[in-house]
């Protein structure tokens, strides 16, 4: 099974879908000549030409609006926003148009578009480039939300996103672009709404979102080595739809749950997921659901402060141990 970097897996998915369907095209800032801020679109302009790999002006609301219009006419645009923070400039088109048009038109018109955007801390890019906004888009009906954490999932979920007739918010963590992983040859799309168990265990369920799936795994290994606690680690892969069944099945086995996310704690993904677990698995819980989240601050530029503003494995370990204090 070939190994490739996360960014290469995304590029492979784009290439395969563009080869398979001439209605698929790319648009965004610096994706053509410059080959993408994170080099995901490297080589695609030369391969497919400027009609299908389109550099755009710096105007996020306009870029997304053009994508919405193109999708309504039967094309399948993949729009790249340079960072998730910049997508705030396009909220009108994303929320009021892309997410709502199919509903408003009584399903006579669909909006089959993908909006790709990197997010996350760790690169000292300050508060306007480094936040995690999964919860913002999770909140909006009509949008699908993907948060792949591995190269294989990035490849399979992007293929599924491009083929879907709904608008998809496709969130990629900046730190993951260089990560290597196995991607099966001729891999099929990965269905949205199917979580994966990254590590099996019987003592506590740890759910990691995006890059935090990696952090959750590291925390689980530390818990096993230092405390003889066997954690089950779940990577949801998509947040809308959410595979709640897999999460609940695990919680009913372990009787404890920890949710790890990089975003802010108030109104976050973890807050929503904790409420769902409490509502639907309350009788199986031996301790309150624990949450690990980023600091409730704008992302610092200073490296030590930035590192302190997002979760690490020691925070996962501490949260997991807190669910055993009743024993």
- Residues noted as catalytic: 60, 129
Note if the bond before 241 is cis, omega within 30 degrees: yes
For 120, phi and psi rounded to 5 degrees?
105, 160
Torsion of CA 65, 69, 71, 75, to 10 degrees: -120
144 strand-pairing partners: 168
The stretches of the chain forming alpha helices (DSSP H) are 6-20, 44-48, 60-72, 91, 101-104, 134-138, 151-163, 212-227, 244-254, 269-281, 303-308, 313-322
SS3 213: helix
d(CA 158, CA 313): 28
The sign of the torsion formed by the CA atoms of 35, 40, 41, 42 equals positive
């Amino acid at each position: 099974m070939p190994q490739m970097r996360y960014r290469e897996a995304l590029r492979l998915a784009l290439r395969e879908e563009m080869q398979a369907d001439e209605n698929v095209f790319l648009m965004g800032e610096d994706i053509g000549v410059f080959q993408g801020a994170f080099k995901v679109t490297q080589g695609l302009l030369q391969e497919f030409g400027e009609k299908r790999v389109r550099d755009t002006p710096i105007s996020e609301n306009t870029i997304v609006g053009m994508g919405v219009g193109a999708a309504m006419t039967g094309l399948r645009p993949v729009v790249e926003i340079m960072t998730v923070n910049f997508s705030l400039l396009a909220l009108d088109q994303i929320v009021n148009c892309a997410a709502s048009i199919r509903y408003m038109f009584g399903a006579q018109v669909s909006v089959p578009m993908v909006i790709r955007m990197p997010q996350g801390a760790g690169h000292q890019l300050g508060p306007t480039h480094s936040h995690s906004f999964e919860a913002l888009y999770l909140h909006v009906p009509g949008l699908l939300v993907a948060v792949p954490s591995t190269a294989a999932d990035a490849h399979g979920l992007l293929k599924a996103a491009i083929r879907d007739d709904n608008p998809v918010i496709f969130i990629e963590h900046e730190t993951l672009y260089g990560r290597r992983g196995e991607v099966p040859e001729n891999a099929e799309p990965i269905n949205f709404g199917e979580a994966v168990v990254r590590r099996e265990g019987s003592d506590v369920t740890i759910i990691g979102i995006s890059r935090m799936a990696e952090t959750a795994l590291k925390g689980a290994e530390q818990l096993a080595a230092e405390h003889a606690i066997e954690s089950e680690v779940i990577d949801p892969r998509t947040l809308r739809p959410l595979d709640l069944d897999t999460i609940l099945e695990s919680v009913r086995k372990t009787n404890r749950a920890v949710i790890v996310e990089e975003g802010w704690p108030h109104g976050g993904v973890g807050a929503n997921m904790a409420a769902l677990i409490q509502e639907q698995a309350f009788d199986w819980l031996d301790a309150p659901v624990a949450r690990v989240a980023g600091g409730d601050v704008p992302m610092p530029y200073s490296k030590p402060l930035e590192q302190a503003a997002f979760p690490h494995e020691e925070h996962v370990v501490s949260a997991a141990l807190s669910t055993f204090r009743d024993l």
